[in-house]
Amino acid sequence: MSLTADHLFDVRGLVTIVTGAASGLGLAIAEAMAANGAVVVLADRNETELKRVSRDVLPAAEIAAVDVADPDAIRRLTDDVVVRKGKLDVVFANAGISAGPGIVSPKGAIENIDLAAWNEVLATNQTGVFTTMQAAARHMKAQRSGRIVVTASVGGLRGAWATGYSYAASKAAVVNLVRQAALELAPFGIQVNAIAPGFFRTALGGGRLLDEAGTKPLEAMVPMKRIAMPREIAGVSLLLASPAASYITGSVFTVDGGITAA
């Protein structure tokens, strides 16, 4: 095995689905994979944004308007990709939503949590990740290879004032989903890992991470004293899709500027 970077991080030709790919971290992951030669399918429930990305950012990528909260839709997507491409190498289960303020706000206090909003977040962030993994695993088991990479969060690894209950609970759940799936799927040559981002400049959370003034209190929580840019998720994403990660499964990679070390 060559130890050159060109070989270790070679993702050329890998058929890859990225959910939540119309913006934020999903788009950054998709851009990184496409820039390095992967065959990328962008999936998102926001069809308008998908079309814009296809037109302006990643014209070579395919798009699919899919809500991961609909298990039939994500199953149809994986089936269609395998029929047309002949395989499914990598799935980034990245789609996620946030609802409501963190527990630092009175509106985020436990007695004020709306159950409908709670269920909406879990339907996408927890059940949607599970059904995405499930749909991918069916095909990857048959071909006895594949990579599944889940976007978790540091909010699922520790308590945090800036995080709401439903988001924290859903992200904690997917961390153990990853570990559970890694155990079952390892004998089939399938590796399952998670990336746990900290604070990134994305629209998640109502856009507060895009507002310079609004991020000042958050920056104070980060040892590196800044909010990350979406492109800073690219390196670990490429790693987990590439030959360099050949012996990594069931792991959680924090990309958080040191939050979980504090």
Exposed / middle / buried, residue 6 (Cβ in 10 Å: 0-12, 13-18, 19+): exposed
**Residues 49-68 pLDDT 10s:** 999 999 999 999 999 999 99
Q: What is the mean pLDDT of residues 27-53?
A: 98
Query: Could you tell me if 11 and 38 are in contact, meaning their C-beta atoms sit under 8 angstroms apart?
Result: yes
Domains in the chain: ranges and CATH: 5-261 (3.40.50.720)
Has 167 been annotated as catalytic? Answer: yes
CA distance 114 to 70: 22
Q: Would you state the structure tokens that stand for residue 259, as one six-digit string? A: 């939050």
Of residues 114, 183, 189, 88, the one with CA closest to residue 145: 189
Residue 164 pLDDT class (50, 70, 90 cuts) = confident
Statement: residue 160 has pLDDT above 80: no
- More confidently predicted of 15 and 1: 15
**Residues 197-239 pLDDT 10s:** 999 998 865 555 666 666 788 888 899 999 999 999 999 999 9
Residue 163 pLDDT class (50, 70, 90 cuts) = confident
Statement: residue 103 has pLDDT above 70: no
- More confidently predicted of 86 and 102: 86
Strand-pairing partners, residue 15, are: 39
Within 8 A by CB and 6+ apart from 75, the residues are: 131, 134, 135
The one catalytic residue among 92, 165, 167, 200: 167
Question: What rounded mean pLDDT belongs to the chain?
Answer: 93
Q: Would you state the structure tokens that stand for residue 133, as one six-digit string? A: 């993994």
Residue 124 pLDDT class (50, 70, 90 cuts) = very high
Torsion over CA of 222, 226, 227 and 232, rounded to 10 degrees?
-100
CA distance 212 to 227: 10
Q: What confidence score (pLDDT) does residue 101 get? A: 65
Q: What is the mean pLDDT of residues 123-149?
A: 98
CA distance 140 to 153: 25
Q: Which amino acid is at 140?
A: M
Any idea which of 119-128, 155-164, 251-260 has the lowest mean pLDDT?
155-164
The Cβ of residue 204 has, within 10 Å, a number of other Cβ atoms equal to: 21
Q: What confidence score (pLDDT) does residue 98 get? A: 84
Q: Give the CA distances from residue 145 to residues 78, 82, 84, 88, 102, in Å, rounded to whole numbers and listed in that order.
A: 15, 13, 18, 9, 39
Q: What confidence score (pLDDT) does residue 205 get? A: 53
Q: What confidence score (pLDDT) does residue 151 get? A: 98
Q: What confidence score (pLDDT) does residue 108 get? A: 75
Q: What confidence score (pLDDT) does residue 209 get? A: 62
**pTM, rounded to two decimals:** 0.94
